[in-house]
């Protein structure tokens, strides 16, 4: 089959040097990987310089294909290439080029030359599919590159005001959905990320914390500029007595032990981001709430109050403490959306109960950007609602998801069936109405990447118009 060519060009409002540096830093590949076509790194040597290699697991329907790529054609500040040594294509050469444009901006050019396998048969059945997938993937890649670089440029003065230079940041829960995304975002901004792990550390970029949240040696926590605490037992499970105890211990006691260890340091971090949830407001019906409102009632509300209060020792030691109260985080890589998608793709999605309760959602990208924004905004502390500015009723959520997938969304899940399956958690998490406004984020100038549900789902699922 003849060689095929794909190209995408975007102009960015950042200098070419910044654009190239972003691509060269750790975390760039993870940031560029679309959530609707997740690629796993199996092995990697080096960065993007000549001879550096990466072995990837690439999704192909229900299967995973092995892809070995080598970097070539490295010209500092100008270009690099990925050449496939082994994988699903007959040939593949991807050239990344970076050009300066008038006014201090830059031009990002991705050019791919490839040949499909199986000759004419591959062309007949695969050409249109591959072209469509490349278009969706590179719309995502150019979008995320521009947004990340603009965010880093916006926050750079805030980080410098607290301490000039790159930061050293400890992230607990770094293997989770938000933690992985945040670690990559911080790394591409030039900050050094150390991941907290429960096993023995495998290098300087890992730190072993005991299951309770404290380090093996207090001195291990010295010299961090910030700590982002995201670890905790999942809440979305049936709340048996054992599950309740595990949730409370991991989130309340784990935070208390970590905050206590930080407070005892000679030089504690400048900021502690300690996760929370909008469940603190309880069931609000149709009433809209924000950070000025007090807590509600129920297990989640009580848990979140004690969870946030557990960070008091760090606060008392002069650490700036921020509590991001997360709403429903949307990504096909995990969480509620990932669990909903299989049924929705079969046309079996629909309202939970009456579907009239409010869901306050946020894209994974905005949730991650909000954490970076909190780190780089010196005047921001206390509770911070991490939700999009446009909550929707649950039935409308499923209707929009069905429209994006081009599937019907009318099959309801009765409330009694949800209660039988999930017990008390169904009422508190699935059927509860929490209509939350991100007032403090907006007042501090945070710009949402995905303020509307439909555009958010289209971006996350690669279903661009």
Asked whether residue 90 carries a pLDDT value surpassing 90, the answer given is yes
Q: Stretch 79-91: mean pLDDT, rounded?
A: 95
- At 220 the pLDDT is 87
Asked whether residue 201 carries a pLDDT value surpassing 90, the answer given is no
Query: Which residues, other chains included, contact 245 with Cβ-Cβ below 8 Å and sequence gap of 6+?
Result: none
Q: pLDDT (tens digit, 9 = 90+) per residue, 2-13?
A: 789 999 999 999
- At 427 the pLDDT is 76
- At 213 the pLDDT is 61
Task: Say how many C-beta atoms besides its own lie within 10 A of residue 62's C-beta.
Answer: 5
Asked whether residue 1 carries a pLDDT value surpassing 70, the answer given is no
Distance from CA of residue 113 to its chain's centroid? Answer: 31
pLDDT band at 421 (very low <50, low <70, confident <90, very high): confident
Asked whether residue 428 carries a pLDDT value surpassing 90, the answer given is no
Asked if CATH classification 3.30.530.20 holds for the domain at 4-149, the reply, yes or no, is: yes
Asked whether residue 61 carries a pLDDT value surpassing 90, the answer given is no
Q: Using CA atoms, how far apart are residues 52 and 23, in angstroms rounded to an integer?
A: 14
Q: Stretch 287-292: mean pLDDT, rounded?
A: 97
Asked if CATH classification 1.10.10.10 holds for the domain at 163-461, the reply, yes or no, is: no
Average pLDDT taken over every residue of the chain: 93
User: Domain locations in the chain?
Assistant: 4-149, 163-461
Q: Stretch 376-403: mean pLDDT, rounded?
A: 96
pLDDT band at 118 (very low <50, low <70, confident <90, very high): confident
Sheet holding 4-12, edge to edge: 4-12, 106-115, 91-100, 79-86, 63-75, 53-60, 40-45
Q: Stretch 302-327: mean pLDDT, rounded?
A: 97
Do 388 and 451 form a contact (C-beta atoms < 8 A)?
yes
Q: Stretch 328-338: mean pLDDT, rounded?
A: 93
Asked whether residue 214 carries a pLDDT value surpassing 90, the answer given is no
Query: Which residues, other chains included, contact 266 with Cβ-Cβ below 8 Å and sequence gap of 6+?
Result: 222
Q: Stretch 237-256: mean pLDDT, rounded?
A: 90
């Amino acid at each position: 089959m003849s060689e095929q060519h794909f190209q995408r060009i975007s102009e960015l409002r950042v200098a070419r040097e910044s654009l190239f540096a972003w691509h060269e830093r750790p975390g760039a590949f993870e940031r560029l990987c679309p959530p609707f076509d997740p690629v796993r790194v199996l092995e990697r040597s080096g960065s993007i310089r000549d001879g550096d290699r990466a072995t990837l697991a690439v999704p192909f329907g229900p299967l995973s294909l092995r892809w070995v790529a080598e970097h070539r054609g490295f010209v500092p500040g100008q270009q690099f290439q990925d050449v496939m040594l082994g994988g699903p294509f007959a040939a593949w050469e991807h050239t990344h080029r970076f050009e300066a444009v008038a006014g201090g901006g830059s031009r990002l050019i991705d050019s791919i030359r490839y040949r499909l396998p199986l000759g004419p048969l591959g062309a007949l059945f695969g050409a249109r599919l591959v072209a469509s997938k490349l278009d969706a993937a590179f719309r995502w890649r150019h979008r995320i590159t521009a947004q990340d670089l603009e965010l880093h440029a916006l926050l750079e003065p805030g980080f410098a005001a607290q301490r000039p230079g790159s930061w050293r940041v400890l992230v607990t829960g770094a293997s989770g959905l938000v933690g992985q995304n945040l670690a990559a975002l911080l790394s591409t901004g030039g900050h050094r990320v150390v991941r907290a792990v429960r096993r023995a550390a495998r290098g300087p970029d890992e730190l072993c914390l005991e299951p309770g949240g404290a380090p093996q040696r207090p001195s291990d926590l010295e010299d961090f500029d910030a700590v982002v605490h995201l670890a905790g037992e999942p809440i979305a499970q049936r709340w048996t007595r054992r599950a309740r105890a595990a949730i409370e211990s991991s989130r309340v006691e784990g935070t208390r032990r970590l905050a206590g260890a930080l407070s005892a340091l000679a030089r504690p971090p400048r900021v502690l981001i300690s996760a929370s949830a909008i469940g603190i407001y309880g069931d609000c019906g149709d009433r809209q709430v924000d950070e000025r409102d007090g807590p509600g009632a129920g297990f989640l509300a009580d848990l979140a109050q004690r969870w946030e209060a557990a960070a008091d020792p760090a606060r008392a030691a002069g650490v700036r403490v921020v509590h991001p109260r997360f709403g429903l985080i949307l990504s096909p890589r995990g969480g509620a959306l990932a669990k909903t998608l299989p049924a929705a793709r079969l046309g079996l999605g629909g309202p939970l109960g009456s579907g009239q309760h409010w869901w306050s959602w946020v894209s994974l990208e905005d949730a991650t950007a909000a954490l970076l924004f909190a780190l780089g905004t010196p005047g921001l502390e206390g509770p911070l609602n991490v939700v999009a500015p446009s909550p929707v009723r649950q039935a409308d959520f499923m209707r929009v998801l069905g429209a994006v997938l081009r599937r019907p969304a009318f099959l309801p899940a009765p409330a009694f069936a949800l209660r039988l399956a999930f017990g008390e958690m169904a009422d508190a998490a699935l059927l509860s109405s929490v209509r939350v406004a991100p007032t403090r984020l907006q007042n501090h100038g945070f710009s949402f990447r995905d303020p509307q549900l439909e555009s958010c789902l289209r971006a996350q699922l690669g279903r661009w118009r």
